[in-house]
Structure 1
């Protein structure tokens, strides 16, 4: 509120002096501190993009928990990938940073190089398995003296239940790499560990007009690729997967002389893909599999572990989950936590385990609903108040450094690589992004200009515009620029500067995390 200064008649001043005093008074009358900060954020929320949408925002002092700003902070909203904040915190608490997933090969001990009976490939949910890991298991069998399996290869994915997707996942997502099927025995298609997927590389042929060269990773017959793509003057390739079969169709052109392009698609039943890749690895290692491949059967008691692979620790996997917002990693963490607590790797047990983990740090789970690990479900509902309580409470956890350091950093890495560059937030804001159609969120940590650490959560739901992330960035920049003596007009300048930052050259839809599109800017 602006204060009015009264000057008595005895204090005669010149007209020029009066103007100076008036100007000084106006400058002094501007709000500063939390009041100015609140006014600046309120002004950002007047943007037409927010009209008729739901905005839920809260900012707290990370050290004291004091509420610095609150705009419907207790209102439940769909969090999208902000769900991963609770999933990872709960999993780290329940499983521990040193936890590893194990994939092993079990059978009766070989006699004269022959395994009598079936060979069991048993998974525990490792979302980071690649073809090279399955080849390593086959090599271990060779070292154990195995030359022949006179039974079947049995793929055991029973550590998790048969629910391949969460409740209310979008049908358009489940054929993409972002919504791949969940399995306790799976395989990824590249160094980014997109579990349950196949990557199709399309490279130019020898001459213009010739068929494009097609390659899949992992190499497999489990997926059929039907290609009409040809070599042309430019690259414009489309990928689609059949709704009910592992058939990927490729069309368009790939530029002659170029390195080509690729697309990644989810497969139906990734357990079968993992088993197929392992069967090929056995063959390449010189091991004769005399039987067939069977899926979804439990390994019987009494067998011997002939080969084993352990994942990286949960601490290391956390970084791979949070930076690019890896959905299948999140679902593996979710069900693995449930498995550890109850012996059942289900969505229900995962929810109970995650809740118990975060409740250890003062989080009230009563007002929220979390039905999956990734946030792909529109039945997930969290509040900014709950998320900031989690971020504050997690500071007391033994795993906090792992958790904190896994968050994307503005203009540095992960899903924030191209955001807030050239502002006070760059290299400062550490936050988890969230994106679904008409859903956007940003929650994390920021250090203000006075050196005070803040936690914040910004959640937008039900907006009609294509992209609202610029408003999240403006709010984050205002927080990074905060000082106790900063005025409302100065805050407005910071927000305006953030708004003027050039958009990335590569335009992306806003209903997915940018990393899910695998563009160069992410």
Structure 2
């Protein structure tokens, strides 16, 4: 039989079989979707929920009775780090404090002043929050005297180039918004042409610290009281004159808003008779610190130090900032003896701070009675394996999510200052500084800090 005939007979058979099966399905004799029975589409009510509403449980915190780690075991960890060949000839200082009791559990050269690197930002942040408050904001203003419109810097170095975002921290205040508001006021007064000046006299002294080694220009901008978004330069390449660049942007927006700007932007303090036309305001200080501490932004921290100086009645310079920070710490009951601060951000090798002071600041901030100052500081610190300068550390090992700390990294010094929750649920404040290893040893020293001390602390089931 030909293949064509076989295929035709097979198809016919399938058609006949399908017809008979469909009839059987309609009569509900075999399984299928067809039926000859009348349809019943009566809608059934949803069942009534019978569970009794429950009040949500309060968020559980750390166990109040979590065991305190054995001090001898923790000291052994610190000594292991100090003797690790990966720290080379570096000097190691470690202080570990039980947050609940305030007791120092580990003292390995904890009182020795060492180069803290960016852990130096911790005392600056405490002083700023303690003196100015978490809700403090920074105003950038435009003032008019005669035919001169002056842009006055108020310490905001996160300015948006154009429109601000009221829900953002970086770019909360916008130079474009400021210019348009000022232009509207000028037009209301019948003014169509102005000269523009920049007033950046809020800060005094040099914009560069002579305690910083050459090459650090990649890590810090000239310190001035206004700048268009300093975070836009993660790999350096900062403008030579950030404040003047911001003033040029402001002038361009004035022109776009219909105001004629004559001549070049000049530098001059606003006169005593100048009238404020418009202002824009930064995010609160607590949010600003969260940006600067998580990213370890040197420029922002130097600005914050100067703002502390202004609030304390000091001159807003490098020296005035460090004097004001130390004075505030002293007023708040911290022992600052032996401390040398050459800058706020920690780039200076001449900075010398004991690990004990750093750990005590963190222990105070993490305590139950720390208030807004402490909560804001702790919230601003990077979290292991999650964000900021700790986003790539403790990934897949003990410490991810349980270490919250400020990092510090220089060519010859490494540090880490923050809190860790042990496996037993005990909250510890700590600071570790390794100072004086050979150049090129930063990565090894950092690994030793994590491997020998901090990650074992997080994994510690060593209740005494």
Q: Which residue of 2 aligns with 1:55?
A: 92
Q: Which residue of 1 aligns with 2:266?
A: 294
Measure, in 2, the Cα distance between the counterparts of 1:50 and 1:466.
9
Are the aligned partners of 1:150 and 1:290 in contact in 2 as well (CA < 8 Å)? yes
73-82 vs 264-273, which moves further: 264-273
Are the aligned partners of 2:119 and 2:346 in contact in 1 as well (CA < 8 Å)? yes
Structure 1 residue 65 displacement after superposition: 2.3
Measure, in 2, the Cα distance between the counterparts of 1:136 and 1:407.
31
Structure 1 residue 150 displacement after superposition: 4.2
Q: Which residue of 2 aligns with 1:484?
A: 462
1:100-249 alignment to 2 at 5 Å? Answer: 100-108=137-145, 116-132=146-162, 133-146=174-187, 150-174=193-217, 176=218, 178-188=219-229, 193-194=231-232
Q: In structure 1, which of residues 278, 284, 287 is the aligned counterpart of residue 256 of structure 2? A: 284
379-388 vs 344-353, which moves further: 344-353
In structure 2, relative to structure 1, the CA distance for the partners of 1:107 and 1:343 (3 Å cut) is: farther
Paired residue secondary structure (2:295): coil
Measure, in 2, the Cα distance between the counterparts of 1:392 and 1:332.
25
Flag as ranges the 4+ runs of structure 1 deviating above 6 A.
Answer: none
Are the aligned partners of 1:117 and 1:149 in contact in 2 as well (CA < 8 Å)? no
Measure, in 1, the Cα distance between the counterparts of 2:82 and 2:101.
26
Measure, in 2, the Cα distance between the counterparts of 1:314 and 1:353.
17
Structure 1 residue 391 displacement after superposition: 1.5
Paired residue secondary structure (1:309): strand
Structure 1 residue 485 displacement after superposition: 5.4
Measure, in 2, the Cα distance between the counterparts of 1:458 and 1:99.
31
In structure 2, relative to structure 1, the CA distance for the partners of 1:143 and 1:152 (3 Å cut) is: closer
Measure, in 2, the Cα distance between the counterparts of 1:342 and 1:354.
12
Are the aligned partners of 2:410 and 2:442 in contact in 1 as well (CA < 8 Å)? no
Q: Which residue of 1 aligns with 2:26?
A: none
In structure 2, relative to structure 1, the CA distance for the partners of 1:330 and 1:33 (3 Å cut) is: same
Q: In structure 2, which of residues 228, 237, 240 is the aligned counterpart of residue 268 of structure 1? A: 240
Q: Which residue of 2 aligns with 1:380?
A: 351
Measure, in 2, the Cα distance between the counterparts of 1:342 and 1:459.
32
Measure, in 1, the Cα distance between the counterparts of 2:237 and 2:191.
34
Structure 2 length normalisation: TM-score?
0.77
Paired residue secondary structure (2:215): helix
1:89-100 alignment to 2 at 5 Å? Answer: 89-100=126-137
Q: Which residue of 1 aligns with 2:6?
A: none
RMSD across aligned C-alpha pairs, in angstroms? 2.0
Matched, 1:436 2:410: yes
In structure 2, relative to structure 1, the CA distance for the partners of 1:351 and 1:45 (3 Å cut) is: closer
Kindly tell me the number of residue pairs found equivalent between the two proteins. Answer: 376
Q: In structure 1, which of residues 420, 424, 427 is the aligned counterpart of residue 398 of structure 2? A: 424
Structure 1 residue 149 displacement after superposition: 5.7
Task: For residues 276-297 of structure 1, give each alpha carbon's deviation from its aligned partner in whole angstroms, at most 9, with x where no partner exists.
Answer: 11111112222111232112x2
Task: For residues 411-469 of structure 1, give each alpha carbon's deviation from its aligned partner in whole angstroms, at most 9, with x where no partner exists.
Answer: 01110001011222110000000011111100110111222111111101111224111
Q: Which residue of 2 aligns with 1:8?
A: none
Are the aligned partners of 2:142 and 2:278 in contact in 1 as well (CA < 8 Å)? yes
- In structure 1, runs of 5+ residues without a counterpart are 1-31, 109-115, 200-262, 487-522
Q: Which residue of 2 aligns with 1:471?
A: 448
Q: Which residue of 2 aligns with 1:353?
A: 324
Structure 1 residue 390 displacement after superposition: 1.4
Structure 1 residue 79 displacement after superposition: 0.8
Matched, 1:319 2:290: yes
Structure 1 residue 161 displacement after superposition: 0.8
Measure, in 2, the Cα distance between the counterparts of 1:358 and 1:397.
14
Task: For residues 466-520 of structure 1, give each alpha carbon's deviation from its aligned partner in whole angstroms, at most 9, with x where no partner exists.
Answer: 411111112111111222359xxxxxxxxxxxxxxxxxxxxxxxxxxxxxxxxxx
Matched, 1:409 2:397: no
Larger Rg: 2
